[in-house]
């Protein structure tokens, strides 16, 4: 057990707070915080990188509740704008100053995986968090992660002192080759680490799943939201410390509380309902990309092929263009790759694709879908 006593399994994710005239609606955040605390939940998750969130924590939580009555987590994103170890450490000091927390119950190295992992090693931030723990400024440290099970295994082997790990887990991504929720969960369990779950609703997409999935949920229980199936699926897994839900208004808070307040686990039938929903979702015809990235090794233009296909598949499954574009931006541009529209149609990628995908055609469709413009 990470904390002295077990905590309730729903965490308030503070990444997508409600806004009014483009600024965080602090009065609503206060109300949401009050409802959350009244219902007996205590875990709050913010980050240096979530704009305005750490200040909101200070106003809604820190200045209104005794410090020992809740747990606060924040994160260090050393791969953003940091040239030196001091730059990275400054993020910790900023978080302390903005939240006014005095100490963090959980401090996370934010979003390890791929090129980002090395930054934390280069800046010796693992030593830093250990020192801060000894000083009492951090109670527990761990990391959040977005990459493959193999890489997670390497990190946990290299840093066995990590006390917990935060992973993207949801029923839609359980077997998704681009996310591998099941794979990373099993690695964390193998290493005996408590798991904090993020994105249990896949960035909100599972709150509004395709109609065929909704029919399955409604047949099981028309009175309960689609979101509840996603959150409870995550909370039902063994070894879970807390499931983070990025609640953006009071209504979402009330919905989450309604089914998590007394949640003690899924019945066999309820597990079957989610299994059915996953089967229906996976039955929607998608680009069969496994994100092996062999194509990336031969592409002369560094096109973000697998990232583009993951984003296209999100559009096909959820009919949500904004969410698909957001994914495309992160998986392609955010990883230093070029957009689909820059493909020169040389065909080299298709020679190595084990899935025999017509990559050029699919990229052309994606470029049109996302409204991309060719560079000069």
Would you tell me which residues interact with ligand SF4 (CB under 6 A)? Answer: 289-295, 299-301, 303, 305-306, 343-349, 352-353, 355, 357, 359-360, 363
Backbone angles phi, psi at 225, to 5 degrees: -75, 160
In the DSSP assignment, the letter for residue 197 is E
Chain centroid to Cα 304, Å, comes to 21
> What's the closest the beta carbon of residue 287 comes to ligand SF4, in angstroms?
8
Decide whether 305 or 324 has the Cβ nearer to ligand SF4: 305
> What's the closest the beta carbon of residue 174 comes to ligand SF4, in angstroms?
19
For residues 88 and 129, the answer to whether their CB atoms sit within 8 Å is no
> What's the closest the beta carbon of residue 288 comes to ligand SF4, in angstroms?
7
Decide whether 167 or 305 has the Cβ nearer to ligand SF4: 305
For residues 339 and 329, the answer to whether their CB atoms sit within 8 Å is no
Decide whether 216 or 295 has the Cβ nearer to ligand SF4: 295
Decide whether 69 or 373 has the Cβ nearer to ligand SF4: 373
304: which 2 tokens?
């973000």
178: which 2 tokens?
């681009």
> What's the closest the beta carbon of residue 375 comes to ligand SF4, in angstroms?
13
> What's the closest the beta carbon of residue 293 comes to ligand SF4, in angstroms?
5
For residues 167 and 181, the answer to whether their CB atoms sit within 8 Å is yes
> What's the closest the beta carbon of residue 55 comes to ligand SF4, in angstroms?
41
Decide whether 197 or 331 has the Cβ nearer to ligand SF4: 331
For 332-339, which contacts have Cβ atoms below 8 Å and span 24 or more sequence positions? Answer: 332/304, 332/307, 332/308, 333/304, 335/114, 335/304, 335/307, 336/302, 337/296, 337/302, 337/303, 337/304, 337/307, 338/301, 338/302, 338/303, 338/304, 339/303, 339/304, 339/308, 339/367, 339/370, 339/372
Decide whether 245 or 291 has the Cβ nearer to ligand SF4: 291
> What's the closest the beta carbon of residue 342 comes to ligand SF4, in angstroms?
8
Decide whether 208 or 290 has the Cβ nearer to ligand SF4: 290
Helix ranges, the chain (H): 26-38, 53-57, 85-99, 116-122, 125-135, 149-158, 181-190, 211-220, 226-235, 250-260, 268-282, 294-298, 305-318, 321-331, 348-352, 359-369
């Amino acid at each position: 057990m990470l904390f002295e006593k077990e905590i309730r399994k729903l965490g308030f994710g503070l990444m997508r707070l409600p806004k009014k005239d483009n600024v965080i609606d602090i009065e609503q955040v206060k109300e949401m915080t009050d409802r959350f605390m009244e219902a007996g939940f205590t875990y709050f998750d913010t980050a240096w990188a979530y704009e305005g969130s750490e200040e909101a924590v200070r106003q809604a939580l820190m200045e209104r509740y005794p410090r020992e009555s809740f747990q606060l987590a924040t994160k260090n994103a050393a791969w953003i704008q940091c040239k030196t170890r001091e730059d990275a450490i400054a993020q910790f000091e900023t978080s302390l100053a903005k939240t006014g927390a005095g100490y963090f119950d959980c401090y996370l190295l934010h979003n390890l995986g791929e090129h980002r992992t090395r930054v934390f090693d280069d800046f010796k931030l693992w030593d830093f968090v250990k020192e801060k723990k000894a000083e009492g400024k951090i109670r527990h440290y761990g990391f959040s992660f977005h990459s493959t099970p193999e890489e997670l295994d390497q990190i946990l082997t290299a840093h066995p002192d990590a006390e917990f790990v935060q992973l993207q887990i949801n029923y839609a991504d359980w077997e998704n080759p681009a996310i591998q929720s099941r794979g990373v969960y099993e690695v964390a369990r193998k290493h005996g680490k408590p798991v904090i779950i993020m994105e249990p609703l896949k960035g909100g997409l599972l709150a509004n799943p395709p109609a065929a999935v909704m029919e399955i949920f409604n047949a099981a229980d028309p009175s309960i939201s689609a979101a509840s199936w996603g959150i409870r699926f995550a909370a039902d897994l063994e070894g879970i410390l807390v499931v983070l839900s990025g609640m953006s208004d009071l209504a979402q808070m009330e919905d989450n509380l309604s089914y998590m307040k007394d949640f003690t686990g899924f019945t066999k039938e309820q597990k079957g309902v989610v299994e059915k929903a996953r089967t229906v979702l996976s039955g929607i015809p998608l680009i069969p990309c496994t994100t092996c990235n062999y194509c990336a090794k031969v592409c002369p233009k560094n096109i973000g092929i697998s990232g583009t296909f993951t984003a296209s598949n999100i559009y096909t499954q959820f009919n949500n263009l904004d969410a698909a574009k957001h994914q495309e931006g992160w998986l392609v541009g955010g990883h230093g790759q070029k957009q689909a529209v820059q493909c020169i149609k040389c065909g080299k990628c298709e020679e190595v694709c084990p899935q025999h995908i017509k990559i050029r055609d699919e990229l052309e469709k994606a470029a049109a879908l996302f409204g991309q413009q060719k560079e000069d």
